[in-house]
């Protein structure tokens, strides 16, 4: 088995109950990140190269309670245990 070593950043998440917003970020947010509006109240945060570093889901609890359907994100990811 080949093991690849590359710099991976910790994932951080936060839910703001007052604003009903869920945040997930790879590494700490940067002032240089760009925010791109995606479909259906999902915002993507990208670095200068266009790599997605995080996302924000607006109206999170309302979306979950409406249909109890999974939220499909406009990104793909490979998950590795820390």
- DSSP annotation string for the chain: ----------EEEEEETTTTEEEEEESS--TT-EEEE-STTEEEEE-TT--EEEEEEETHHHHHHHH-PPPPPS--------
Q: Is 9 inside a domain boundary?
A: no
pLDDT of residue 22: 93
Its domain, for residue 35, covers 14-67
Q: What is the pLDDT of residues 42-80, one digit of tens each?
A: 999 998 888 888 999 999 888 766 566 677 777 777 766
Whether pTM exceeds 0.75: no
Instruction: pLDDT band for 16, please (50, 70, 90 cuts).
Output: very high
Torsion of CA 43, 70, 65, 12, to 10 degrees: -50
Q: Is 36 inside a domain boundary?
A: yes
pLDDT of residue 1: 47
How many structural domains is the chain composed of? 1
């Amino acid at each position: 088995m080949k093991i690849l070593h590359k710099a991976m950043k910790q994932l951080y998440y936060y839910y703001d109950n007052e604003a009903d917003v869920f945040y997930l970020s790879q590494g700490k947010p940067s002032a240089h990140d760009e925010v791109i509006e995606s479909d259906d109240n999902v915002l993507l945060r990208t670095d200068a190269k266009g790599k997605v570093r995080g996302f924000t889901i607006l109206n999170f609890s309302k979306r979950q309670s409406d249909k109890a359907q999974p939220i499909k994100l406009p990104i793909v990811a490979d998950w590795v245990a820390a």
